[in-house]
């Protein structure tokens, strides 16, 4: 972790993302007259070139935006299950979950949504001053001319050598047939550049109906995958109403289902608002205890009620009702931890109509978040993903991009605990055309009706709590945006019943006080394929704070991401 640092300041536009080249791509479009939405597309496409572990055109995600004229919308470009997907497709002959079937190879892929989502953004919310071809150009140029490999990218590729080498095209492009890319080398991605050029010439539907679509569908047919040309042609991004809430006079705009993140975030803020958080002190035992109990209750409800709203009934209004949230905290004890085992979900209004079953599943940490604002005050928060590190490992032959393993976010077998002790249930069961539940939580905070904070993070279920902590660090603890992003994080998700924490979270005395209250404390555990054995931190909360008086934009990249950068002009 870095020592306390200054934010990047600008008076016009600001982009902060997981790589400097991607942030520069967004700023390039802003300088050409594009707005924050145009820059969002350019940044996301550039990340597909510079950050292949999560940046993508073969995955999907969410954007929450707020236009300077007051319009706001959530764009859902989450992947969908292929039409022929079935609820038991990842079970073996004995009815058990077959290891790797939902995570490795073509059968793990959902229908990609990123290009459709970006097209929806450009068509309806772009400035009209830069064409679709122009917003793709920075990414095409990076792929065609090559990027300089950073130490972090070289480590990512080396750490995933065994995984990527299973697939000839991935082995050729990302591992150079065993001659690994080294830091400082120039890496050219010719096939990806050609794909981006096709999309420039023929438009975004080329991905779903043109040569790129045929490449993808033919590869699926040859190797037992499920995605067909019909699946690709049928894919559409979905406009959804932004989920709105408030916290201490600030307005919160966040992602509705099929993200679970927005509802859980607003639930936690609602449970906290009546408490004197600031007086507890940052990361004191009392503050961590309170937040852990709030997290526990929100995640319990998340497990009970949430799924794709096009397939299941989600009692959103009831879950966010202030009286209901007050009831959820009625048994809060300032001195003792609640036990997760046997803890019931709440009974929000509309619960009887919901498909009530537990939907928990470990989600991958390999996602990426980026934030953008322009000089006019248009603002966008985007979180998108391949799900696993380098997705399912498959590169579409001739097209140069990796595919997702998002099907793993569905329930593979109802009622069975997974490796992490989470029970999986009916409302997130696999069905053709369905979107899997997600924790991605792109969020905008408004002050006096104008953008104040743009934030979000990768990190599976930790996304929700990272977003909560960044927001409350600023609002409750009056931190600068860099302090709020850098501060040590902790996480509770109901099951397993433990507070997971980053190094230097709090004092040893406070840790002992939490244990005396009945909390179990666990240092952050490494997941398979972590590129660095020393990686004990989580998230990448690329954030922008806007000073309401001067209009100055303060960009804060997250030091947990080695190549991240905030760039303004």
Residue-wise pLDDT for 246-304, tens only, equals: 999 999 999 999 999 999 999 999 999 999 999 999 999 999 999 999 999 999 999 88
- Which ranges constitute the DSSP H helices of 175-309? 190-202, 206-209, 211-222, 229-234, 261-272, 277-280, 285-305
- Residue 355's pLDDT is 47
Contacts of range 514-523, beta carbons closer than 8 Å, 24 or more positions apart: 514/285, 514/288, 514/289, 517/285, 517/289, 517/335, 517/336, 517/337, 518/336, 518/337, 518/339, 519/289, 519/292, 519/337, 522/498
Q: Which residue has the higher pLDDT, 143 or 428?
A: 143
- Residue 409's pLDDT is 87
Q: Does position 364 have pLDDT exceeding 80, yes or no?
A: no
d(CA 212, CA 194): 10
Percent pLDDT > 70 in the chain is 93
- Residue 123's pLDDT is 98
* Confidence bin at 2 (pLDDT 50/70/90): very low
Q: Does position 6 have pLDDT exceeding 60, yes or no?
A: yes
Over the stretch 115-135, which tens digit does the pLDDT of each residue have?
999 999 999 999 999 999 999
Provide the mean pLDDT of the chain. 93
Task: Say whether 103 is catalytic.
Answer: no
Domains of the chain: 19-240+365-428 (no CATH), 243-358+441-528+541-568 (1.10.246.130)
Over the stretch 41-57, which tens digit does the pLDDT of each residue have?
999 999 999 999 999 99
Q: Does position 411 have pLDDT exceeding 70, yes or no?
A: yes
Burial class from Cβ neighbours inside 10 Å (0-12, 13-18, 19+) for residue 210 reads middle
- Contact by Cβ (8 Å): 174, 157: yes
- Which ranges constitute the DSSP H helices of 10-57? 20-31, 36-50
Q: Does position 462 have pLDDT exceeding 80, yes or no?
A: yes
**Residue 481, H or E segment:** helix 481-486
- Contact by Cβ (8 Å): 165, 125: no
**pTM of this prediction?**
0.95
- Residue 533's pLDDT is 39
The active-site residue out of 16, 40, 359, 367 is 367
d(CA 327, CA 325): 5
Degrees to nearest 5, angle at CA 60 with 376 and 143: 80
E-strand spans in 301-401?
366-373, 379-387
- Contact by Cβ (8 Å): 543, 16: yes
- The whole-number average pLDDT for the span 336-341 is 96
- Residue 531's pLDDT is 47
Q: Does position 346 have pLDDT exceeding 70, yes or no?
A: yes
- Of 202, 230, 305, 243, the residue nearest 80 (C-alpha): 230
- The whole-number average pLDDT for the span 505-518 is 98
- Residue 171's pLDDT is 98
Q: Does position 526 have pLDDT exceeding 90, yes or no?
A: no
Tokens read off for 272: 């906290």
């Amino acid at each position: 972790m870095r020592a306390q640092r200054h934010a990047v300041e600008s008076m016009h536009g600001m982009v902060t993302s997981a790589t400097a080249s991607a942030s520069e791509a967004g700023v390039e479009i802003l300088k050409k007259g594009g707005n924050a939405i145009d820059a969002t597309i350019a940044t996301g496409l550039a990340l597909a070139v510079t950050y292949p572990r999560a940046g993508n055109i073969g995955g999907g995600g969410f954007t929450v935006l707020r236009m300077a004229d007051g319009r706001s919308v959530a764009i859902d470009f989450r992947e969908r299950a292929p039409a022929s997907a079935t609820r038991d497709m990842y079970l073996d002959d004995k009815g058990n979950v077959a290891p790797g079937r939902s995570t490795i190879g073509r059968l793990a892929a959902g229908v990609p949504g990123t290009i459709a989502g970006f097209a929806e953004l450009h068509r309806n919310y772009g400035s009209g001053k830069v064409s679709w071809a122009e917003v793709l150009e920075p990414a095409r140029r990076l792929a065609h001319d090559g990027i300089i490999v950073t130490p972090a990218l070289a480590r990512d590729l080396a750490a995933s050598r065994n995984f990527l080498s299973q697939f000839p095209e991935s082995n050729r492009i990302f591992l150079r047939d065993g001659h690994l890319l080294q830091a400082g080398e120039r890496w050219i991605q010719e096939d990806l550049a050609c794909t981006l050029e096709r999309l420039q010439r023929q438009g975004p539907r080329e991905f779903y109906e043109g040569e790129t679509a045929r490449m993808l569908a033919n590869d699926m047919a040859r190797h037992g995958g499920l995605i067909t040309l019909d699946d690709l042609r049928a894919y559409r991004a979905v406009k959804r109403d932004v989920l709105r809430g408030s916290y201490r006079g600030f307005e919160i705009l966040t992602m509705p289902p099929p993200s679970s993140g927005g509802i859980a975030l607003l639930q936690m803020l609602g449970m906290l608002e009546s408490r004197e958080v600031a007086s507890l002190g940052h990361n004191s035992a009392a503050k961590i205890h309170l937040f852990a109990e709030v997290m526990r209750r929100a995640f319990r409800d998340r497990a009970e009620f949430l799924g794709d709203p096009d397939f299941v009934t989600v009692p959103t209004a009831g879950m966010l009702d202030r009286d209901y949230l007050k009831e959820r905290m009625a048994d809060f004890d300032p001195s003792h931890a609640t036990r997760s085992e046997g803890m019931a979900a709440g009974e929000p209004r509309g619960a009887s109509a919901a498909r009530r079953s537990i939907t928990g599943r470990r989600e991958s940490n390999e996602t990426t978040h980026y934030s953008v604002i322009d000089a006019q005050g248009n603002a966008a928060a985007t979180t998108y993903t391949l799900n696993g590190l380098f997705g399912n490992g498959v590169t579409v032959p001739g097209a140069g991009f990796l595919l997702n393993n998002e099907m793993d976010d569905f329930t593979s077998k109802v009622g069975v605990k997974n490796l992490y002790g989470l029970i999986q249930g009916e409302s997130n069961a696999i069905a053709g055309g369905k979107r899997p539940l997600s924790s991605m939580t792109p969020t905008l905070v408004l002050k006096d009706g104008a953008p104040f904070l743009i934030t979000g993070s990768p990190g599976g279920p930790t996304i929700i709590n990272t977003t909560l902590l960044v927001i409350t660090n600023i609002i409750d603890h009056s931190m600068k945006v860099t302090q709020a992003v850098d501060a040590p994080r902790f996480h509770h998700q109901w099951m397993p019943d433990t507070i997971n924490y980053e190094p230097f979270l709090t004092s040893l005395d406070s840790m002992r006080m939490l244990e005396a209250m009945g909390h179990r404390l666990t240092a952050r555990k490494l997941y398979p394929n972590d590129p660095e054995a020393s990686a004990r931190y989580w998230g990448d909360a690329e954030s922008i704070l806007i000073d309401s008086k001067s209009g100055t934009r303060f960009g804060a990249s997250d030091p947990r991401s080695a190549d991240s950068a905030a760039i303004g002009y």
